[in-house]
Amino acid sequence: MRVLVTDAEYDVLDIEEEVLAAAGHELVTARCRTPADVIAAARDVDAVLVQYAPITAGVLEALPGLRLVSRYGVGVDVVDLEAARARGVWVCNVPDYGTVEVALHAVAMLLALLRGLPEHARNVRAGRWDYRLGGQLRRPGELTLGVVGLGRIGRMTMERASPWFGTCVGYDPHLPDDAWPAGVERVGLEELFTRSNAVTLHLPLTAETQGLVGTDLLELLPAGAYLVNTARGALVDVDAVLGALTGGRLGGVALDVLPEEPPPADHALLTHPLALVTPHVAWFSAESERELRRKAAQNVVTWARTGRPDHPVVEGR
C-alpha cells in the first residue's frame, strides 16, 4: 500500500517511514498547500497523512482511490468531514498526543497573566524597575475561573489551575452529567463569561464554534478579566479582543493560536502591552512530536491490518 504525507513541518520523516515500512507499506512525500497540489500528488495512493493541506470535497471526488485520511493533530477542520462521510472515506486523528503539554502551556499562560509577567518583563527590559507599572494584581483566591470545554486538555487544565481560584465554573454541552468533574459548577456559556475573571478555551473548531468568542461574549466579562486560548485560533475574533483590551474589559489575553498563522508582522496584538502571544507551541515537546508522528502513521497501519484505524473521526467503508 502507498501512503502519502501531503505536508509536514518535519525535515525528515524517519518516524513515519519506520512505522509504515515495518508493516510493508511505502511512504511517499509531497509539499501540498492547495487542493490542486493534493490531487496531483495523491492520485495513486490509498491513504494520506495531512497536517495543513486542505482535503476538500473536490479533492475527495478527484481521488476515488483514497480510502483514509490521518491528521497530524487533534483538530480535523482541514478535512471536509461530510464529504468524506458521503464517500465512505475514513478520517482519523491523534487525540491524545500532547495533553500534558497543552494543559501546561494554558496554565503557564494563565498564571503569567494573573501575575502581570509580560508587562513586568517588558518594563525591566526597558530599564523601568517598578512593581506598580504592572497594573493592579488580584489574589486568585478571590476570583472565578471559567473553563470552556472539559475534554482531556480542558479537564487537566482545570485540575491544575482551579485550586488557585476561589470558584471554578465550566461549560461543555457535550459532556454528560455523570462525567462532569467534581468541584466545577456547570453553567451556560453566557453565565460563564458573566462570572469569570479568567477564561480558558478548550474547544474544537466547528461551524458552531467558529468566531465563538466575539464582542457579545467579551462584553459580559467582569472588567479586567483574562482570556487564554491554546485550542484553535478561529474560536476567537481577534479584532474584538483588541477592542476589549483597549476598552479595559480585558486585563490581558494570552493566545498560542491565531486565525492566521503566522500573523502579519505589524499585527497590533504582537506589540500590545497586555497581550502574550506564542507561536502555536503549546502542543510541542520532543516527546509529544515523536508520539504525534508515530500515532498518525499507526492509524494507517492499524486500518490496513484490521479495517479500522485507532482513532476514527469519520467511519469509512
Task: State the pairing for strand pair 26-29/68-71.
Answer: unpaired
- Residue 135 sits in the same domain as residue 273: yes
* Closest to 283 measured CA to CA, from 274, 292, 275: 292
Let me know the angle formed at the C-alpha of 278 by 276 and 284, rounded to the nearest 5 degrees.
Answer: 140
Output the CA–CA distances (angstroms, integers) from residue 176 to 11, 186, 201, 227, 234, in the order listed. 42, 11, 19, 26, 26
Residue 183 to residue 233: CA distance in whole angstroms: 28
Q: How many CB atoms lie within 10 A of CB 258?
A: 20
Output the CA–CA distances (angstroms, integers) from residue 135 to 113, 196, 226, 228, in the order listed. 11, 19, 13, 19
- Residue 33 sits in the same domain as residue 125: no
Task: State the pairing for strand pair 68-71/90-92.
Answer: parallel
- Residue 173 sits in the same domain as residue 304: no
Q: Which of 267, 280, 294, 308 is catalytic?
A: 280
89 secondary structure, DSSP code:
-
Q: How many CB atoms lie within 10 A of CB 146?
A: 29
- Residue 266 sits in the same domain as residue 291: no
32, amino acid identity: C
- CATH classification of the domain holding 30: 3.40.50.720
- Residue 53 sits in the same domain as residue 115: no
DSSP string, 235-262: GB-HHHHHHHHHHTSEEEEEES--SSSS
- Residue 188 sits in the same domain as residue 250: yes
Residue 170 to residue 180: CA distance in whole angstroms: 9
Q: Name the residue range of residue 84's domain.
A: 2-97+285-314
Indicate the helix (H) or strand (E) that contains 15. helix 14-22
Q: Above pLDDT 70, what percent of the chain?
A: 100
For residue 18, what is its C-alpha cell? 519506520
- Residue 92 sits in the same domain as residue 143: no
pTM > 0.85: yes or no: yes
- Residue 304 sits in the same domain as residue 250: no
Q: Which residues of the chain have pLDDT under 70?
A: none
- Residue 80 sits in the same domain as residue 136: no
CA dihedral of residues 211, 213, 217, 220 (deg, nearest 10):
-160
- Residue 41 sits in the same domain as residue 9: yes
Q: Which of 232, 249, 293, 311 is catalytic?
A: 232
276, amino acid identity: L
Q: What is the pLDDT of residue 135?
A: 83
Residue 40 to residue 29: CA distance in whole angstroms: 12
280 flagged as catalytic: yes
Looking at the 3D structure of the chain, how many domains does it have? 2
For residue 113, what is its C-alpha cell? 497573566
At 69, give phi and psi (nearest 5°).
-120, 120
* Closest to 164 measured CA to CA, from 113, 111, 228: 111
Residue 132 to residue 111: CA distance in whole angstroms: 18
232 flagged as catalytic: yes
Q: What is the pLDDT of residue 134?
A: 83
- Residue 125 sits in the same domain as residue 226: yes
Query: Given CA atoms 112, 231, 256, 259 in this order, what sign does their dihedral have?
Result: negative
- Residue 93 sits in the same domain as residue 138: no
Q: Which of 26, 190, 260, 261 is catalytic?
A: 261
Residue 255 to residue 229: CA distance in whole angstroms: 5
Q: What is the pLDDT of residue 143?
A: 98
Let me know the angle formed at the C-alpha of 20 by 19 and 25, rounded to the nearest 5 degrees.
Answer: 160
For residue 291, what is its C-alpha cell? 508520539
